[in-house]
Structure 1
């Protein structure tokens, strides 16, 4: 449909976290640099941000940039018991049949970590949507994972990602032991107006099109509607392109954004 009309080879505003489409705002560059540092130092990092700000996409970019020296283990749904959480980690560490007994399970994880160390690889545990973690016990297990270490280094890195309420959860006094293990603590903010313009142009160029398809007044309205959240920008831009295609509009202006804004649940 609109792809050919506007000269795109693929959809520029897809919802999938494709690292090719990761626009590196100042905040995204800082977040990625800090996570890279945490992996190099084999520490624990906390990354928070509003829904749709690009946390998951940053984690994919992190995996792509760090190379084969790192083995990534993603946990996308942390609504687990502590034992289930450890079994998921064990499975991601290539333990063929993780034990259902905790003492045996910890032994299997230890053996797997030393195996990766012997290979010269560092496992990276990435926990997404961490605000959904159901109880303190899992945070304790995450903290205790950082006890797997040699004399001069840890045997793994941990990246915890979540929405802003995660910060409120772990601010309680009972989470002090966990907070003390966090080496990097970063909050990812939405895009500015200028970055929103750059974001739109960047994604269109990656998709094979050109910059400047959205007029300045259209960008202003998109920013006002989405407050700079990339996922919301994607939704508005996609609907604007569909509407523009239907109107044979060579330029997406503010009138098109006004036409579609009430159709969007943002």
Structure 2
């Protein structure tokens, strides 16, 4: 571990999703603001697009926390590996429709419809967010179409946000694509975002003086192209490499060494 070497209280760079500690990058602020606009304007369906590692899951977690704090019934469902009943169950549980373990699909649909109507009567928003939506097979995609239409009334307060990679948008059913009211693009971090993230993460972990010099930060940004997940991983490996070398700080050479040692290979900018 490098914590003692760098005088850190804990590892500052983690890939786990933590809505409370999510770095407020320009991209995150813009994407969540557009989701809030979609909900406020009573639009039905939005699609959040970003390449793998861009922070879609983080953006959804941030929105879930924010919406729940405002009184909305909001849930995030990971589409990977779900069965028909699991999809309905997770949505019902997520919006507090009180599903019963004995419920069949028909009963779950009734619970969802009743809950959507009850929330509307209370003046509360219901927001379903589906991460990795392209993972739904044809059968579940038809269920998704039905979920989009669970409250077709003009005064509906039911909103669905779908998250996927732009290259996989075409995997969605035509009925889903035609239902989309707003496209929300989640762009990689800027150099300023990357710099701010590194400084903030290290400070919160107990480091009061910089570890990465300016050239190291620039090189880290170039090598990761600002993709948040890659920034986090490369920064972590750079700390490990620097500690292993007994360095007093992380320079561009240390970042490049760390980059060569890790298994993934994002696009590399010429340098």
Q: 1:211 to 1:19 in 2, by over 3 A?
A: farther
**Partners of 1:235 and 1:259 in 2: CA distance:** 13
Provide the aligned C-alpha RMSD in A.
2.5
Segments of structure 2 that go 5 or more residues without pairing to the other structure are: 265-271
In the alignment, is residue 196 of structure 1 matched against residue 194 of structure 2? yes
**What is the Cα deviation at residue 153 of structure 1?**
2.2
Verify the 8 A CA contact 2:79 2:131 in the aligned structure 1: yes
Q: Which residue of 1 aligns with 2:53?
A: 52
Task: State the match for 1:258 in structure 2.
Answer: 256
- The equivalent of 1:106 in structure 2 is 109
Q: 1:96 aligns with which of 100, 103, 113?
A: 100
Alignment map for 1:1-266 (pairs within 5 Å): 1-42=1-42, 43-66=44-67, 67-92=69-94, 93-97=97-101, 99-102=103-106, 104-135=107-138, 137-149=139-151, 151-170=153-172, 175=174, 177-210=175-208, 212-266=210-264
CA shift in 2, pair 1:37/1:207, >3 Å: farther
Contact 1:53–1:231, Cα closer than 8 Å, also in 2: yes
Q: Secondary structure at the match of 1:72?
A: strand
- In structure 1, stretches of 5+ residues that fail to align are none
The answer (yes or no) to whether the contact 1:201–1:211 under 8 Å persists in 2 is: no
- Provide closer, same or farther for how the CA distance between residues 101 and 216 of structure 1 changes in structure 2, counting only shifts above 3 A: closer
2:117–2:151 Cα contact (<8 Å) kept: no
Cα deviation, residue 84, structure 1: 4.0
SS in 1 for 2:243: helix
How many residue pairs match? The answer is 260
Relative to 1, partners in 2 of residues 1:207 and 1:95: Cα closer, same or farther, differing over 3 Å?
same
Are the counterparts in 2 of residues 213 and 251 from structure 1 also a CA contact under 8 Å? yes
